[in-house]
Amino acid sequence: MSAAHLSCDVAVVGAGPAGLAAARAAAEAGARVVCLDAFATPGGQYAMQPTQAESPFAATAPVALGRAAARAAGEAGAQILCGAEVFWGACVPGGFCLSVNHAGRALAVEAKALVVAAGAMERPLPFPGWTLPGVIGAGAAQRLLKTGTGALPLPGKTVLAGSGPFLLAVAQSFAKAGQRLDHFVEMQRPLPADVAKVFARHPGKLAEAARLGLDLRRSGAARHVGHMVTRALGTDRLEAVEIAPLSASGQPVMGRAREIDGVGTLAIGYGFQPVIDLTTALDAAHDFHAALGGWHCRADADGRTTVAGLWAAGETLGIGGAVPAQLSGRIAGAGAARTLGFSAPDVTGATQALGNARAFASALAQLYPPPQGLPVALPEDELICRCEDVTAGDIATAIAEGAHESFAVKTWTRAGMGPCQGRICGAGIAAALAQAGVPADKASYNRAHLPLRPVPLPLVRAAMQAQTEMETRP
């Protein structure tokens, strides 16, 4: 098997709000652009395209925004390849080589400049019972509602829990889909005065916030504010959820814990984390900021990273939402094209708007600070790394023996060596280190290795052969 070859001026990884904006900006400047996305349709999580025409989400504003953004990028001349999962990236003479699994075939994309707009993924934190069937991420629940049959597959009550404004967006999806939501469990209890200050500075967001609140009421869910999930209970599947109120110090008051019985689905989320596997594979510098979702790619105001020719946009630069993502994508796409000699449009207005949009995202992060430690104490036999069957006790032992960095924990225990490469267990390992007194910026992050995603070996072989040819040609 040999890899197909595609060359371009600017390659964009990700076809969400940031990636589509970057592709459009670079293409409008005259650059040859290839935009790659692993999903079947462009749009990303925010503008996720429903798979059924009769879906209640088909006429929503985010879906329309995604379609319009993809259409505009295509009309500008960008080539959008969906079902194209990037499983490796490398610097080669004259630019970059991306190794891609495109519909089961190896594809090597050669680009003079690269914009990584890989988006974000959920930030799962382990708690007792989190591996039971029926426990899913809040974002996964939203995807199930927006695609496929438009319903959750398991019978029984549904509990939506965790922390952060995204939970309200998921509750809105339940209301829009006409699906039952029984309980809404929010860890934080922001002071009304603090909420009022945020919207006094950003009055344009007030109507959207009001709609989210109304849709939460419309869902009919019983609300438990200032509570958290302390256990998922069941034998071979989820059967009940234990919740407890939080004390003034943020600890669960177990003497007042209660069980919710007859639960089929627990959708839980503690925010998002930037997807940085490709930027780490390319040796770009990264920084840590809890309010931005943790480790994110370092870039200047134009999205230029520490690697020549490499740009980053959207959530890869830190969690901020769809509006900052779209603006940063436009800025990065124009910047990438400009460095190649194309006449890119002026993005001064976008830069100014980006500052305002990020200020709102930062204010929300202060209202809903993502927990950095483990939500509750874990029994020693609770799995943290599912891929390699590494337990909380294994990780605690490694830390006690001197593993005070994520890579050291990985070396001691194999946690993070499985197919997900730490995407699922990384936040849990960092939280365990934080619990032991190692701050996240000292614990660092799990570096990416080939392949970034599970892929058949013949595709890896074919892509690596193509990369070698680019690296060694005269």
Provide DSSP, 143-176. Answer: HHHHSTTSS-SS-SEEEEEESSTHHHHHHHHHHH
In a domain, 452, yes or no: no
Residues 211 and 138 in one domain: yes
Say if residue 336 is in the same domain as residue 298. Answer: yes
**387 and 407 share one domain:** yes
pLDDT band at residue 59, thresholds of 50, 70 and 90?
confident
**Domain C-terminal end among 223, 247, 269:** 269
User: Quick check: 466 and 89 in contact, CB under 8 A?
Assistant: no
Mean pLDDT of 314-327: 95
Return the C-alpha torsion angle 109, 115, 117, 118, nearest 10: 40
Are both 283 and 185 inside the same structural domain? no
Identify whether residues 147 and 203 lie together within a single domain: yes
- Looking at residue 291, the DSSP 8-state letter turns out to be G
Please name the residues in contact with 355: beta carbons below 8 A apart, sequence gap of 6 or more: none
Q: Do 236 and 132 belong to one domain?
A: yes
In a domain, 466, yes or no: no
User: Cβ(266)–Cβ(137) under 8 Å?
Assistant: no
Does residue 57 surpass a pLDDT of 90?
no
CATH number of the domain to which 130 belongs: 3.50.50.60
Neighbours of 340 (CB within 10 A): 18
Q: Looking at the predicted structure, is the pLDDT value of residue 60 above 90?
A: no
Residue 371 is assigned to a structural domain of this protein: no
pLDDT of residue 236: 93
Question: Is a pLDDT exceeding 90 seen at residue 48?
Answer: no
Q: Which of 237-251, 305-319, 387-401, 414-428 has the lowest mean pLDDT?
A: 414-428
Could you tell me which residue, 55 or 235, shows the higher pLDDT? 235
Mean pLDDT of 75-93: 97
Please list, in sequence order, all residues whose beta carbon lies within 8 angstroms of the beta carbon of residue 99, skipping any fewer than 6 positions away. Answer: 3, 86, 87, 88, 89, 90, 106, 107, 108, 451, 460, 463, 464, 466, 467
Tell me how far apart the alpha carbons of residues 254 and 23 are, in angstroms, rounded to a whole number: 51
**370 assigned to some structural domain:** no
Residue-range definition of the domain harbouring residue 166 = 126-269
Query: Would residue 374 count as lying in a domain?
Result: no
Same domain for 137 and 117: no
Residues 106 and 140 reside in one and the same domain: no
Q: Is 108 helix (H, G, I), strand (E, B) or coil?
A: strand
Same domain for 62 and 171, yes or no, is no
Q: Which of 235, 254, 269 is the last residue of a domain?
A: 269
Q: By the 8 A CB rule, do 99 and 464 touch?
A: yes
80 and 174 inside one domain? no
468 belongs to a structural domain: no
Indicate if the pLDDT at residue 319 is higher than 90: yes
Residue 53 has pLDDT above 90, yes or no: no
Return d(Cα 147, Cα 142) in angstroms, integer.
Answer: 9
Number of domains in the chain: 3
Q: Which of 240, 269, 298 is at the close of a domain?
A: 269
Contact 414, 390 (CB under 8 A): yes
In the predicted structure, residue 92 carries a pLDDT above the cut 80 = yes
pLDDT in tens, 334-383: 999 999 999 988 888 998 899 888 999 899 989 998 888 888 889 999 99
- Is the domain of 254 the same as that of 288? no
Domain annotation covers residue 288:
yes
Mean pLDDT of the chain: 93
What confidence score (pLDDT) does residue 339 get?
96
pLDDT of 83 strictly over 80: yes
Q: Which of 39, 38, 35 is nearest to 18 (CA)?
A: 35
Between CA 142 and CA 64 the distance in angstroms is: 17
Give the pLDDT confidence score for residue 6 in this predicted structure. Answer: 97
- The pLDDT of residue 46 is 84
pLDDT of residue 45: 84
Is 90 exceeded by the pLDDT of residue 329? yes
pLDDT tens digits, residue range 112-167? Answer: 999 999 999 999 899 999 999 999 999 999 999 888 677 787 899 999 999 999 99
Q: Is residue 310 part of a domain?
A: yes
pLDDT at 13 > cutoff 90: yes
The CATH number of residue 425's host domain is 1.10.10
Rounded CA-CA distance 293/312 in Å is 16
Please tell me whether residues 292 and 264 are part of one structural domain.
no
CA angle 59, 60, 64 (to 5 degrees): 80
